[in-house]
């Protein structure tokens, strides 16, 4: 019998960090698998390279830090970060984009702050934004839908991922939001720009887009599963999606020719991924339910603003990073009311009825 003095509680809930990470990864598998199916072997190569390099960078940093790498690698957070980075990349991006993304996410986004739980910004979104700014061509070259076994074979794909794309224009095009942005810059108006848009295909994800972000349905499904499992709380996704829906409805009603309908806004795997998997990141989101509602609403607002008036067609990454920066502030001001005290911390008045 251990006689070391131990403080209670002497029992514990069963959920552990590695289980949480595993559940999140599991929730992302359908959308990722669909992405691979949709874009063929190059997508798989990119995915593997990104995840592996994320693990390598993690191990490298832990070694520099002088701690054993295995226990921390086993918690699955590096795999999850790598997976999220890969999911937001163009599926036919060259291998070094994936490696650079992992490096930014793990080294600059996480380990320089002190590792798991210490970072201010969401590592995956940091990587995405840094890559988008640094390598705009590679990051906006969207492959057409070329399902597995119909596109380039194993070896051609290998060449494509590791030695570069030859005839770019032949196999690529713009995403829906990109198309809209270009259309507006050419003074076109809305119903016309989206003549080819099929909301059904967008919902199942049969369209150009990031590796794991095309399917609204699959990402949403994973998110709802996480909610049901109690891994994430409803506050952030609901307030984020509601804010986007309300704002886009208002503007669409006001000027339908220049503002996308709420349906097009919401029917996007990228938005769902951010709402359920990125903005809900424990480390970089507020602690309290009310804080989370504010955080989600802020993300939604920024996403809508950037999509509607910003220079980039998609604004989820920027929106999340900006709100991440505000999280400590939200946590400072929004605190739960303590039992027997008013919100300002003063004890309740004594009243004997």
Partner 1 sequence: MLAFLENPRLRGGIHAEEHKQETCGQTIASDFPLPKKLYIPVQQHVGKPAEPVVKVGDKVLKGQLLAYSQGTISAPVHAPTSGKIIDVQDFPAPHPSALPVRTVIIETDGLEQWAPGNLPDDPFAMAPDQICTRVGEAGVVGLGGAVFPSAVKLSLGRKNQIHTLLINAGECEPYLTCDDRLMRERAGEIVSGIRLMLRGMEAPKAMVGIEDNKPEAYQVMLAACREFDNISVEQVPTRYPMGWDRQMLRYLTGQEIPADGRATDIGVVVHNVATAHAVYKAICLGQPLISRVVTVSGGAVGKPRNVEVPIGTLMSEVLAFCDLDKSKLARLIMGGPMMGDALPFAEVPVVKACNGILALSRDEIEEPEVQACIRCSSCVTACPVGLLPLEMASRIKANQLDSAVDLGLKDCISCGTCSYVCPSNIPLVHYFKFASGELVKRQQAEHKAEQTKRLMNDRNERMERIRLEAEAEAQRAAEARAARMAAQAAAQQQKVEESA
Residues that bind partner 1 (CB under 8 A): 1-3, 5-13, 15-17, 19-20, 71, 75, 77, 115-118, 233, 282-283, 287-290, 293, 331, 335-341, 343, 345, 347-353
Cβ 304 vs Cβ 244: under 8 Å = yes
Q: How far is the CB of 61 from partner 1 (least distance, A)?
A: 14
Collapsing DSSP to helix, strand or coil, 180 comes out as: helix
Q: How far is the CB of 14 from partner 1 (least distance, A)?
A: 8
Q: How far is the CB of 345 from partner 1 (least distance, A)?
A: 8
Cβ proximity to partner 1: between 163 and 282 the closer is 282
Q: How far is the CB of 84 from partner 1 (least distance, A)?
A: 15
SS (H, E, C) 313-326: CCCHHHHHHHHHHH
C-alpha to C-alpha distances, 47 to 166, 227, 302, nearest whole angstrom: 21, 26, 29
Cβ proximity to partner 1: between 164 and 230 the closer is 230
Collapsing DSSP to helix, strand or coil, 341 comes out as: strand
Cβ proximity to partner 1: between 66 and 353 the closer is 353
Sign of the C-alpha dihedral, residues 49, 55, 56, 58?
A: positive
User: How far is it, in rounded angstroms, from Cα 212 to Cα 76?
Assistant: 19
Cβ proximity to partner 1: between 116 and 174 the closer is 116
Cβ proximity to partner 1: between 248 and 280 the closer is 280
User: How far is it, in rounded angstroms, from Cα 222 to Cα 224?
Assistant: 6
Q: How far is the CB of 239 from partner 1 (least distance, A)?
A: 12
Give the H/E segment covering residue 310. none
Largest CA distance in the chain: 82
């Amino acid at each position: 019998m251990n006689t070391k003095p131990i403080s209670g509680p002497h029992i514990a809930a069963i959920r552990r960090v590695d289980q949480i990470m595993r559940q999140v990864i599991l929730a992302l598998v359908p959308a990722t698998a669909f992405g691979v199916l949709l874009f063929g072997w190059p997508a798989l190569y990119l995915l593997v390279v990104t995840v592996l390099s994320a693990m390598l960078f993690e191990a490298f940093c832990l070694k520099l830090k002088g701690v054993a790498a295995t226990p921390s690698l086993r918690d699955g957070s590096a795999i999850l970060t790598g997976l999220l980075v890969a999911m937001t990349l163009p599926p036919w991006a060259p291998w070094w984009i994936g490696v650079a993304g992992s490096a930014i996410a793990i080294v600059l986004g996480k380990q320089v702050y002190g590792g798991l739980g210490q970072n201010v910004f969401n590592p995956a979104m940091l990587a995405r934004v840094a890559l988008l700014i640094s390598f705009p061509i590679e990051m906006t070259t969207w492959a057409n839908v070329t399902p597995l076994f119909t596109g380039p074979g194993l070896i051609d794909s290998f060449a494509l991922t590791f030695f570069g794309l030859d005839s770019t224009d032949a196999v690529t095009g713009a995403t829906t939001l990109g198309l809209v942005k270009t259309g507006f810059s050419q003074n076109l108006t809305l119903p016309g720009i989206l003549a080819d848009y099929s909301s059904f295909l967008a919902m199942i994800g049969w369209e150009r887009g990031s590796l794991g972000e095309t399917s609204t349905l699959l990402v949403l499904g994973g998110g709802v599963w996480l909610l049901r499992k109690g891994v994430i709380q409803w506050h952030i996704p609901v307030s984020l999606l509601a804010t986007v829906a309300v704002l886009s409805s208002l503007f669409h009603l006001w000027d339908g020719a220049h503002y996308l309908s709420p349906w097009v806004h919401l029917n996007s795997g990228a938005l769902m991924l951010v709402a359920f998997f990125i903005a809900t990141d424990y480390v970089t989101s507020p602690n309290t339910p009310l804080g989370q509602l504010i955080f989600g609403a802020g993300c939604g607002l920024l996403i809508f603003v950037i999509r509607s008036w910003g220079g980039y067609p998609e604004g989820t990454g920027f929106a999340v990073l900006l709100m991440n920066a505000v999280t400590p502030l939200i946590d400072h001001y929004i605190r739960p009311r303590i039992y027997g005290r008013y919100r300002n911390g003063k004890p309740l008045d004594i009243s004997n009825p």
